[in-house]
């Protein structure tokens, strides 16, 4: 096919800090996948590699065992240092990809809801330094990038929990410039992340609704924790104006009430915002965020949603942890800026090198029962159930 540009899009890699809770410990395998685009039919074609949000799991990377939600550049750098140390093959792979002599190569990092820290210049510089040669061809376009008639963004801007205010990504508070984190990210850092070291297998298990059905004690625990958080901690901080990222809005109230009532932990997109993204002037839109691959058309437009690259596991009806789910990314071929072909690519991750998981998801129950419930929240959880 006579094309003059290839675009390869990966989303939701979610590299962590190298501990058992790291959802993607295979960056040597990923680096080799990048380099496959320097061989065969790709050798003489220009290739753009787009890492479309949640490349790094800075949301779930701790500092000295804590997860601060007031994130300034110092906090962001401390977290990024841990990821850099754990995933050196990733940056070496990017360097080798960019070193390709036969045709141009570029790399783009868009921002996702797990790596808002990419908005800090210090983090972008750390990435460039880690890659080394070819770093002048690494680009940080922000929340989205347009390449020809292709619009690429993570997808969390259609998610009310994680939508970042594009015009106000930072708050200046007490002499610090901190990320203006969306309320969903703040709540995760405050409530879920302190439990992550023991409950992380549930985050990787699919389908998620089945996991919560199998583990009602886990569902009740999280309802209890969030009920306490929203009705006491968050409201108290808002009332006293002691926390710059804890505000109140009608949308927040409506979302919190609906989720506490249903106990549904799945991602829920705002149809209006999703349509806004997909109905721009572009011919093709590529999104991630949901971890579920899909293909759909809207008139003359097409939307590809990549799956995730991180490790996720199918859980059987009896709780046994089964096979690792395939990883899905996107390829797009263009000529003179016009899409000529686009499709999803499904690959299996490396065998025998999966993220740490128990034999059964039921093994987390011992940890769940070890957490002391809040009596008021427990009563609310029982009513909501």
pTM summary value: 0.93
Question: Is residue 376 predicted with pLDDT exceeding 50?
Answer: no
Name 154's Cβ contacts closer than 8 Å, sequence gap at least 6.
11, 52, 53, 54, 110, 111, 112, 113, 143, 144, 287, 288, 289
Distance (Å, whole) CA 116 – CA 181: 8
Distance (Å, whole) CA 336 – CA 345: 23
The answer to whether 330 and 347 are in contact (CB under 8 A) is no
Q: Is 319 left (phi over 0), alpha (psi -120 to 50) or beta?
A: left
Q: Shortest CA distance to 342 belongs to which of 305, 368, 376? A: 305
What tens digit of pLDDT does each residue of 342-373 get? 999 999 988 765 668 999 999 999 888 888 65
The mean of the pLDDT values for the chain is 90
Distance (Å, whole) CA 237 – CA 109: 34
The answer to whether 27 and 358 are in contact (CB under 8 A) is no
Helices (H), the chain: 27-35, 73-86, 88-98, 121-131, 183-187, 196-204, 208-214, 216-228, 235-240, 250-262, 271-278, 365-370, 375-384
Q: Which CATH superfamily is domain 5-384 in?
A: Metallo-dependent phosphatases (3.60.21.10)
pLDDT at position 353: 55
Distance (Å, whole) CA 278 – CA 287: 9
Distance (Å, whole) CA 212 – CA 220: 9
Q: Shortest CA distance to 114 belongs to which of 202, 200, 11? A: 11
Question: Is residue 381 predicted with pLDDT exceeding 60?
Answer: no
Enter the tokens of residue 245: 């990222």
Q: Where are the domains of the chain?
A: 5-384
Per cent of the chain over pLDDT 90 is 72
Question: Is residue 254 predicted with pLDDT exceeding 50?
Answer: yes
106 backbone dihedrals φ, ψ, rounded to 5°: -135, 155
Written as one string, the DSSP assignment of 339-373 is EEEEEEEEE---TT-PPP--SBGGGGHHHHHHSPP
Question: Is residue 299 predicted with pLDDT exceeding 80?
Answer: no
pLDDT at position 383: 41
Written as one string, the DSSP assignment of 238-301 is HHHT--TT----HHHHHHHHHHHHH---S----HHHHHHHHTSS-SEEEE-SSS--EEEEETTE
Q: CA 366: distance to chain centroid?
A: 28
Distance (Å, whole) CA 207 – CA 204: 9
pLDDT at position 378: 47
What tens digit of pLDDT does each residue of 13-49 get? 999 999 999 999 999 999 999 999 999 999 999 999 9
Using CB atoms within 10 Å of the CB of residue 175, give its burial: 0 to 12 exposed, 13 to 18 middle, 19+ buried. exposed
Q: What is the mean pLDDT of residues 328-343?
A: 96
pLDDT at position 273: 80
| Low-confidence winner among 4-8, 203-207, 307-311, 350-354 (lowest mean pLDDT) | 350-354
Enter the tokens of residue 248: 């109140």
Q: What is the mean pLDDT of residues 110-117?
A: 98
pLDDT at position 129: 97
Question: Is residue 267 predicted with pLDDT exceeding 80?
Answer: no
């Amino acid at each position: 096919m006579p094309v003059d540009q290839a675009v390869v899009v990966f989303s939701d890699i979610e590299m962590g800090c190298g501990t058992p809770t790291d959802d993607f410990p295979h960056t040597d395998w990923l680096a080799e996948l990048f380099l496959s685009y320097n061989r065969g039919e790709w050798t003489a074609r220009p290739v753009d590699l787009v890492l479309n949000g949640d490349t790094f799991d800075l949301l779930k990377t701790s500092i000295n065992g804590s997860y601060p939600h007031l994130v300034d550049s110092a906090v962001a750098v401390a977290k990024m240092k841990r990821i850099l140390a754990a995933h050196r093959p990733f940056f070496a792979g990017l360097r080798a990809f960019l070193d390709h002599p036969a045709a141009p190569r570029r790399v783009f990092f868009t921002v996702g809801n797990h790596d808002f820290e990419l908005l800090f210049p210090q983090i972008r510089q750390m990435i460039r330094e880690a890659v080394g040669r070819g770093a002048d061809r690494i680009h940080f376009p922000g929340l989205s990038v347009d390449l020809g008639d292709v619009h690429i963004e993570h997808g969390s801007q259609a998610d009310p929990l994680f939508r970042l205010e594009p015009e106000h990504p930072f708050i200046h508070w007490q002499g610090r410039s901190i990320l203006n984190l969306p309320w969903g990210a703040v709540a995760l850092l405050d409530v879920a992340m302190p439990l992550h070291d023991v409950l992380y297998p549930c985050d990787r298990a699919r389908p998620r609704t089945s996991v919560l059905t199998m583990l009602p004690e886990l569902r009740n625990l999280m309802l209890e924790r969030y009920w306490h958080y929203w009705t006491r901690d968050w409201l108290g901080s808002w009332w006293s104006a002691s926390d710059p990222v804890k505000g109140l809005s009608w949308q927040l109230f409506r979302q919190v009430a609906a989720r506490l009532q249903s106990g549904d932990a799945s991602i829920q997109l705002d149809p209006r915002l999703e349509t806004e993204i997909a109905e721009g002037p572009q011919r093709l839109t590529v999104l991630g965020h949901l971890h579920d691959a899909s293909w759909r058309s809207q008139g003359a437009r097409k939307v590809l949603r990549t799956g995730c690259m991180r490790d996720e596991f199918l859980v059987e009806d009896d709780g046994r942890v089964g096979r690792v789910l395939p990883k899905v990314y996107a390829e797009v071929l263009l000529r003179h800026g016009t899409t000529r072909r686009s499709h999803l690519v499904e690959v299996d991750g490396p065998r025998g090198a999966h993220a740490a998981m128990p034999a059964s998801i039921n093994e987390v129950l011992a940890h769940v029962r070890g957490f002391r419930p809040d009596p008021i929240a427990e009563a609310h959880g029982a009513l909501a159930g």
